[in-house]
Amino acid sequence: MLTILWIQLKGILLQKWTGQAGWFGLFKAGDKWDLFVSSGRVSGFSDNVWKKILSLDLNPYVSKKIIGLPDFGDDGTTLNGLVFKSENRVFPLGAGKDIGCGFRVLHVPRNKVDIEKIEREYQFFAKNITSYKPGTTLLDEEIEQIFYSNSDRPSLIKQEEVKLSFGRIGKGNHFIEFRTIDIKDQLAAKKLGFETGDIIIHIHSGSGLFLEYMILKYAALFNNNRGYQNAYELHFPFENCLIQQFLADAERCLQVSIANRNALERLIIEWIGSAIRVLDVSHDVIEVEGTTVHYQKAVQRYSEYKGLDIAIIPTTIEEQSYLVNRTGHFSFVNHGSGEGEEGDTQNIGSVKTNFDKTSSRTFFGINDSLEIATRNAWYKIICNLNPWICIKNFNEW
């Protein structure tokens, strides 16, 4: 019976599907969706992806528009590359389970870089920030400030687990990368103070595995044996007491994530001597505005730096990443070109790393994203970021 119902509902959605991407890489799905994805990517969507698309499209609490970015896809629990909002209703997994996860970018001028020192010592630094002993400490009063500065609601977060996660890179698709700048837009680069040969340090970090587990505990409490089939069937009234506690903890996750990136930045500067912060942006976000709730899952917004709206677009370990300058009115930027720690083993090439096994990740390639962005005049590339050093954590957490 459920299978028959799903086939009927999928038929309804597909009747509303344009069937072919326009010149600008835009698919329309159902009544609410704008999917900026390649036709090849759409053809590879699994039934689980379609069910989640349908679930959001038919939900009366979900507002138009729902946006899918070029790296849109399923991470197993939720959809990546997703932007939507709800009215008077909260979707606990709307932004995934790593709330606050984001990017920080630091710039080091080439005349301030000691290449030999970094290459000689990066393995030791990597061991420090991927070990089970945190790279730095978080004082109890600092935790209290994070936990209760914005809300006095109770929390499921265990403060000792926050301490264990602090000052370290979590496992999964998180990393610290050192890349060299290759200028493509001289005027923009000059405004930012960038030169070819300068170093960009890219920190990708969230709140830590323990806080991810905490979000999943909330999901289990909300599910409560109700048998929900996917993350987007899990939604509850805004005034629900447990929902309000969840929103308070979601804000705490965001603050822990930012504080952890602060700590990692301090550790890097203590090691290499100096670095200039260029941007910090969270890409897994729940924001509350009255009774409207905004969700971003693996989606960035631009950051203003020296008069330009910029963003970083990461790719695979051995390929170029990009720093871009917003040129259009579209507010969002895709998270990157990867889908997590599963799939084909990727080549490390000549990149210096702290690990001796290749990263097993599924990537679809950055070209689709760049082509869609170019056709829609979303942004212009300021500089290519060439791979040099990549630090990852392959421990248990």
Which of 53-57, 106-110, 167-171, 197-201 has the least mean pLDDT? Answer: 167-171
**Could you tell me if residue 50 is inside a domain?**
no
Helix (H, G, I), strand (E, B) or coil at 136: coil
Is residue 21 predicted with pLDDT exceeding 50? Answer: no
**Beta-strand pair 66-74/33-36:** parallel
Q: Are 390 and 351 in contact (CB under 8 A)?
A: yes
246-266 residue pLDDT tens: 999 999 999 999 999 999 999
Based on the structure, what is the number of domains in the chain? 1
Residue 195 maps to a domain: yes
Instruction: List pLDDT tens digits, range 127-150.
Output: 989 887 776 766 677 777 777 777
397 against 233, higher pLDDT: 233
In this predicted model, which residue has the larger pLDDT, 127 or 7? 127
Q: What is the CATH number of the domain that holds 226?
A: 3.90.1860.10
173 is in an annotated binding site: yes
- Local structure of 374: helix, strand or coil: helix
pTM above 0.85, yes or no: yes
For residue 9, tell me if it sits in a domain.
no
Q: pLDDT grade, residue 78 (50/70/90)?
A: very high
Buried b (16+ CB within 10 A) or exposed e, 73-93: bbbeebbbbbbbbbeebbbbb
Please tell me whether 150 is known to bind a ligand: no
pLDDT digits 0-9 by tens, 350-394: 889 988 766 655 555 677 888 888 888 999 999 999 999 999 988
Helices vs. strands in the chain: H and E counts, helices first: 10, 19
Amino acid at 262: N
Q: Is 91 annotated as a binding residue?
A: no
Residue 215 belongs to a domain:
yes
Whether 266 is covered by a domain: the verdict is: yes
pLDDT bracket for residue 222 (50, 70, 90): very high
> How much is the pLDDT for 346?
61
Give residue 375's pLDDT. 87
Rounded to whole angstroms, the Cα distance separating 370 from 367 reads 5
Distance of CA 3 to the CA centre of its chain: 33
Which pLDDT score, from 0 to 100, does residue 180 have? 98
In the predicted structure, residue 227 carries a pLDDT above the cut 80? no
| Mean pLDDT for all residues in the chain | 86
pLDDT at 205 over 70: yes
pLDDT tens-digit map of 271-327: 999 999 999 999 999 999 999 999 999 999 999 999 999 999 998 788 899 999 999
Query: Cα 343 to chain center, whole Å?
Result: 19
How far is the C-alpha of 178 from the C-alpha of 169, rounded, in Å? Answer: 15
Between these two residues, 346 and 301, which has the higher pLDDT value? 301
Question: Do the domain assignments include residue 357?
Answer: yes
174 is in an annotated binding site: yes
Three-class SS of 18-64: CCCCCCCCEEEECCCEEEECCHHHHHCCCHHHHHHHHHHHHCCCECC
- Asked if 10 and 54 count as a contact pair (C-beta separation under 8 A), the reply is yes
pLDDT tops 90 at residue 95: yes
Average pLDDT over residues 233-257: 94
- Token representation of residue 110: 């080439």
pLDDT score for 6:
47
- The answer to whether the annotation marks 283 as part of a ligand binding site is no
Bigger pLDDT: 294 vs 10:
294
Q: What is the pLDDT of residue 1?
A: 40
Whole domain around residue 350: which residue ranges?
Answer: 97-280+299-391
pLDDT, residue 23, reads 44
Domain for residue 229, yes or no? yes
150-197 pLDDT tens trace: 778 888 988 888 888 888 898 888 999 999 999 999 999 999 999 999
pLDDT of 14 above 60: no
Distance (Å, rounded) from C-alpha 120 to C-alpha 134? 22
Q: Confirm whether 69 is domain-assigned.
A: no
pLDDT at position 333 is: 93
